[in-house]
């Protein structure tokens, strides 16, 4: 059986993916992959996702220069979620979020209010010129 056939794809042919930074253990982002994106990620050693909003493959960093080097691809016990262990490239410290932050998970619930807890490392206007 092909390794891609072991993934439990949803009804749209997608699987959720978590990108975790190898050095820190930080969860940097959540995205989706289709079969082609996962195959390309495994082949290239760089993260390729499926952009639901754009309806196309998205090589992380293709516009921003913030590529993700993939060290490992893991699948959960139900075969329906993937975990990438990555190194975030292109800026030091790494920027994974389109808001210019290290992680997409920069908002924390405090006293019933969502509060930004991570700084903007680079202005998104400068990233996506």
Over residues 61-100, the pLDDT tens digits come to 999 999 999 999 999 999 999 999 999 998 888 999 999 9
Q: What is the three-class DSSP state of 126? A: helix
Q: What is the three-class DSSP state of 73? A: strand
- Residue 82: partners with Cβ closer than 8 Å, 6 or more residues away: 7, 15, 16, 17, 18, 33, 38, 73, 74, 75, 76
Q: Measured in Å, how far apart are the chain's first and last C-alpha atoms?
A: 44
Check residue 88 and give its pLDDT.
96
Check residue 1 and give its pLDDT.
72
Q: What is the mean pLDDT of residues 16-39?
A: 97
Spatial distance between the Cα atoms of 63 and 107, rounded to a whole number of angstroms: 24
The average confidence (pLDDT) of the chain is 96
Q: Which CATH number fits domain 3-98: 3.40.120.10, 3.10.20.810, 3.40.50.10420, 3.40.30.10?
A: 3.10.20.810
Q: What is the pTM of this model?
A: 0.92
């Amino acid at each position: 059986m092909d390794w891609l056939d072991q993934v439990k794809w949803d009804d749209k042919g997608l699987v959720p993916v978590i990108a975790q930074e190898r050095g820190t253990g930080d969860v940097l982002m959540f995205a989706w992959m289709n079969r082609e994106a996962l195959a390309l990620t495994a082949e290239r050693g760089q993260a390729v996702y499926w952009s639901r909003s754009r309806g196309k493959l998205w090589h992380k960093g293709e516009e921003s220069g913030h590529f993700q080097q993939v060290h490992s691809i893991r699948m959960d016990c139900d075969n329906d979620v993937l975990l990438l262990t990555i190194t975030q490239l292109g800026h030091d410290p790494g920027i994974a979020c389109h808001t210019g932050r290290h992680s997409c998970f920069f908002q924390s619930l405090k006293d019933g209010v969502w509060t930004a807890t991570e700084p903007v490392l680079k202005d998104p206007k400068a990233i996506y010129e």
